[in-house]
Amino acid sequence: MKVAFAGTPEFAAEALRAILSAGYAVPLVLTQPDRPAGRGMQLQPSAVKRVALEHGLPVDQPEKLRTPEQQAALAACAPDVLVVAAYGLLLPQAVLELPRLGCINIHASLLPRWRGAAPIQRAIEAGDAESGITIMQMDIGVDTGAMLLKEALPILPDDNGGSLHDKLATLGARMIIDALDKLRNGALPATAQPDAGVTYAAKISKAESALDFRLTAPRLANKLRAFDPFPGCSGSISGTVLKLWAGEAVDLHDEPGTVLRADGSGVVVACGSGALRLTQLQKPGGKRLPAADFLRGFPLAAGTRFELPSA
């Protein structure tokens, strides 16, 4: 069975490695064009492209897949199935119909909850008790296709966006091999997604990084976890933007944004309900540090106020 692959970041690269290790023939890898990154803003290949080149696989990097010319490489390799994981491009109907067995997607949520671009972060941000992987048959909608395999994974209290990403990437890589093996043997039944329980995981915007201390402390603690390591959260004091990386809700109360305490155990900031003890912070141009080390280079006094974002 010829398995073409479409994906871009490390989440997808983990699946591609598993497919290659399982011995499947991969006639083509689709990934997004190289993007500028790093201090020098040099063009950098995606994680998927690096894996493909290490294994000598043909790579195609179209900006879109809308035209016959952009679809030509995929059509020419005549795959039996196209596996898609965090590719970042919409697949038109013509592409969905190219492989003999269609296109199957590795989605990092328990569908129909958290369809869309940022399911890992949104699950943590919402305080979900579990996440998981759904292998689905792709259709023209956004993560609306029939479910082929589904497996849950608990979200632990100390999980953040990075740790949950890595766990789900490993789970997705295992599950896609199971799905391909079943597909090859003609034993991969599809189940339509239910209408109930649909939620959407919108792409994370930079504006969301700023913490609004008028929200509840548990909600902000979840957001800190969800946005670590990307894009991170922030707060401003007298025009200085600090990166805020980790914290926990505590039962203290005052005007939202007020620093109640700042010592080695953390920087305690009042919220709309309760308070947030910030335990890892970063000043401009500095490193991410535990609160005690941060305060040695950026002292904060009780009564200091974090600025509140515009409503």
Per-residue pLDDT at 41 = 84
Query: pLDDT per residue over 64-97, tens digit each?
Result: 999 999 999 999 999 999 999 999 999 999 999 9
Domain ranges of the chain: 3-200, 207-297
**This prediction's pTM:** 0.96
Per-residue pLDDT at 121 = 98
Distance, in Å, from the CA atom of 137 to the CA atom of 143, rounded to the nearest integer, reads 9
The CATH class that applies to domain 207-297 reads: alpha beta
Query: pLDDT per residue over 184-210, tens digit each?
Result: 999 999 999 999 999 999 999 988 999
Q: Within 13 Å and on the Cβ side, how many CA atoms surround 211?
A: 40
Distance, in Å, from the CA atom of 38 to the CA atom of 220, rounded to the nearest integer, reads 29
End-to-end CA distance of the chain: 55
Over residues 47-59, the mean pLDDT reads: 98
Distance, in Å, from the CA atom of 127 to the CA atom of 125, rounded to the nearest integer, reads 5
Burial letters 254-265, b for 16+ CB under 10 A, else e: eebbbbbbbeee
Per-residue pLDDT at 311 = 64
Task: Indicate the pLDDT class of residue 40, thresholds 50, 70 and 90.
Answer: confident
On average, the pLDDT of the chain sits at 97
CB contact at 8 A, 256 and 272: yes
- pLDDT over 90 percentage in the chain: 96
- With the C-alpha atoms ordered 83, 155, 245, 241, is the resulting torsion angle positive or negative? positive
Instruction: Enumerate residues 6+ apart whose C-beta is below 8 A from 264.
Output: 291, 292, 295
The CATH class that applies to domain 3-200 reads: alpha beta
CB contact at 8 A, 104 and 136: yes
Per-residue pLDDT at 111 = 98
